[in-house]
Structure 1
Amino acid sequence: MNRKVKKSHQLLFVRNILFFFFLCGSICTSHTNTIRAKSHISNDENFAEKREECNRVAGNPNDDELGGFLVKILKSLGAELEDYVEYGDDEHAQTVLSEIKNTWECIALNEKSLANSGETPESLRKYMAKILFLVKHRNCESPDETFFNGQCLPISTTKRSEHCPEHMGLYDDEKNEGFCYCLELTREKAKSELRPIYSDKTGFCHRQNTQGPCGNGEWFVLKNTPQCEPVPEGCPTDGWHVYWHPDPSKAKQCWEIWTQGPCEEGQILHLAQYTQELQVYCSSRLAEHSIGNTLSFLLCLAGAFNNRQNLCKKGGFVG
């Protein structure tokens, strides 16, 4: 197929799916800056109606078929994009890239439908990173690397990066540029270990309920925002104790995390984190604390980090 015919074919293809993507965009675009996009949209009373209409325009695939349908569109557009890049046709490449991003966002919203698509979230992450790298929207071809201090380095958000200060990992922003920010905790650790929080005063991250950047007799706590407060009498500032009581009518006391504390027999103190304020509760089971879905990379497109408010944006210490 010659170049002119290929262009005509692509423009016809784009025209045919523009309405589909417009509908899908109305579902996806306004929420793509949050990790909570899927849960937020699914609670919208109009979401089911919009998605049904979107599916109808797309040929009315059922849920089992939708993932495969979206993946086929993604791969078809990706192949066309590669041709335009090879020909040096930037104008049409950008048009196709815009449709690829719309498809990408829809895939993120329909993650469950990928089961029968022949693809996994990981394979799609790699494919999308390759596409963005091809059009120079990413500095690194691997979705697991970010550009930091002049080179592509491994992204590390739950384990301290050797390129960052203490309690900080190497994150990726929307431009695939690296920056250091507070370490996330794995799901298991988030139940029993206080996560580090960022201090505007020092520009670094410090463990909660330690002195951190605060003065003598104070500890660094999260109360909607990170702040310094006087240490409650008798509380160690070791990052392993919380000031709390399960009965709001009773006086708070200092308790060690992951022990029985004031809980009933058979229960221990658990933590619920990644909210505006630390939550402590008693439980005999392992609580679930999800820190973003598998396709958060899709929602942030280039893997922008997920901060305490779950926003995809840059922040923290830049090397």
Structure 2
Amino acid sequence: MIQHIRISRQLIFVNKILFVFSLFGLIGAPHTHNIRAKRYFFPLFIAIDGSFTEVKVNEWKGAASNNRNQEEDGSAFIVEILKNLGADLVDSVEYGDDELTQILLSEIKDVWRRIVNNPKSLVNSGETPESLGIYMAKILFIAKDRHCESPDETFINGKCFPISTRERSEHCPENMGLYDDEKNEGFCECLELTKEKAKSELRPIYSNETGVCYRQNTQGPCENGEWFVLKNTYPRCEPVPDGCPTDGRHVFWNPDNSTAKQCWEIWTRGPCDKGQLLHLEQDSTEEPQVYCSYRLAESFFTYSALSFPPCPPGTLSNYVGQCIGCSRGCYGAFIG
């Protein structure tokens, strides 16, 4: 009797997974997708006579087609699918079905990626990227795919601690924060700057020699008379230009090729016209660009909760926007 109940529950779960397959075109899709579906579910087709019929599958396909039209109109149907799969995963974990849990987990991750890539799917869902991120982290925690239940924490030294990418973490050296990798394990990396700070403050950069981040245009890991700079995409030590303080607040720059370079303090007038200040434009690989602009002018450095912010020099951004130090290997991840 218990075995029959368990199989019955499995079929409910699998029905919903098949529903997702039909939603995203896997049922009746190209041959390779059909093979995938058969590989997952063909044993259950044989095991339980009459549980899956052509009529039933057609019903699911019809429902999925209607709901796909709703999704294109900005409905929250895909979020409902995520929640349904999440509920099934909780039940699967409770019943100790590891194989089914892994199948559900794989499909949940696939649906989550689709949501991240299509912000319109949150319209009318009652969810925000933050609230859905909390839900997703909890589901992965239940499935033992994350160490920490909170999406704002990472696992280091045997415990969960707050992720800190813009303020130094007590677990990291100076100028470094605590980041999260694809296994929800913490590591130290150069601090990010806010949008406003990136206009007026040089970003810390990573030294492969010491494994620590330093403020640009300071002595950093360099010898006396040198400063640590980013040139041709590579952090290096160079002689300090005459008259330049190594305080991380000065740059060696000229407004045009007709004048010689001089040492100027960032966010002061410098050689700019009246009312303008020296601004910075920074990304993760090129040396900072200096330009004159008005105080309230927007820089090219932008950030969105559903796009990927530029990473500190010395690191790369993986496909979900986490900044990964290449000294640790540049790899992909799923959720931070």
Normalising by structure 2, report the TM-score: 0.76
Residues 1:112 and 1:15: Cα distance change in structure 2 (over 3 Å):
closer
Query: What is aligned with 1:175?
Result: 183
**Other-structure match for 2:304:** 293
- Match of 1:309, SS state, is strand
Deviations 1:294-317 (A, max 9, x none): 246xx8xxxx99974322465389
Structure 1's 205 and 113: CA in aligned 2 closer, same or farther, altered over 3 A? same
Render the CA deviation track for 1:189-243: whole Å, top value 9, x for unaligned.
Answer: 1111111111111111110000101112211111212111111221111100011
Task: Provide the identity percentage.
Answer: 60
Distance in 2 (CA, whole Å) between partners of 1:7 and 1:96 is 11
Is the counterpart of residue 198 in structure 1 residue 206 in structure 2? yes
Deviation at 1:103, TM superposition (A): 1.0
Are the equivalent residues in 1 in contact too, given 2:316–2:326 (CA < 8 A)? no
8 Å contact kept, 1:21–1:99: no
Any conservation in 2 of the 1:305–1:314 contact (CA below 8 Å)? no
Once residues 141 and 245 of structure 2 are traced to their aligned partners in structure 1, the CA distance between those partners, rounded to angstroms, is: 49
Structure of higher CA gyration radius: 2
CA gap 1:57/1:63 in 2 versus in 1, 3 angstroms: closer
Q: In 2, Cα distance between the equivalents of 1:264 and 1:22?
A: 59
Q: Specify whether residues 309 and 280 from structure 1 end up closer, same or farther in structure 2 by C-alpha distance, changes over 3 A only.
A: farther
CA contact (8 A) 2:281 2:289 kept: yes
Judged with a 3 Å threshold, the aligned counterparts in structure 2 of structure 1 residues 212 and 261 are, in CA distance, closer, same or farther, namely same
| 2:206/2:315 contact within 8 Å kept | no
Alignment partner, residue 233 of structure 1: 242
2:95 is the alignment partner of 1:87 = yes
Q: Contact 1:260/1:266 (CA < 8 Å) preserved in 2?
A: yes
Within 2, Cα distance between the matches of 1:150 and 1:201? Answer: 28
- 2:30 counterpart residue number: none
Q: Partner amino acid for 1:280? A: V
Which one of the candidate residues 165, 171, 190 is aligned to 2:173? 165
Number of residues of Structure 1 aligned to a counterpart in Structure 2: 280
Residue 244 of structure 1 corresponds to 253
- Residue 8 (1) aligns with residue 16 (2): no
Shift of 1:255: 0.8
Which residue identity does 1:242 align to in structure 2? V
Of 274, 281, 306, 2:291 maps to 281
Cα 1:307/1:252, change in 2 over 3 Å: closer
**Cα RMSD (Å):** 2.7
> Following the alignment from structure 1 to structure 2, what is the Cα–Cα distance between the partners of residues 185 and 264?
27
* Unmatched runs of 5 consecutive residues or more in structure 1: 24-54
Residue identity matched to 2:93: V
> Do the aligned partners of 1:64 and 1:116 also contact (CA within 8 Å) in 2?
no
Partner Cα distance (2:65, 2:312) in 1: 34
Q: Secondary structure at the match of 1:158?
A: coil
The aligned amino acid for 1:256 is E
**Quick one: structure 1 residues 238 and 307, their matched pair in 2 at CA, closer, same or farther if it must change by over 3 Å?**
closer
* Residue of structure 2 aligned with 1:261, choices 263, 267, 270: 270
Aligned-partner residue type, residue 251 of structure 1: A
User: Residues 72-102 of structure 1: CA distance to partner in whole angstroms, max 9, x if unpaired?
Assistant: 0110100011111111111111111111111
Instruction: State the distance in 2 between where 1:290 and 1:72 align.
Output: 34
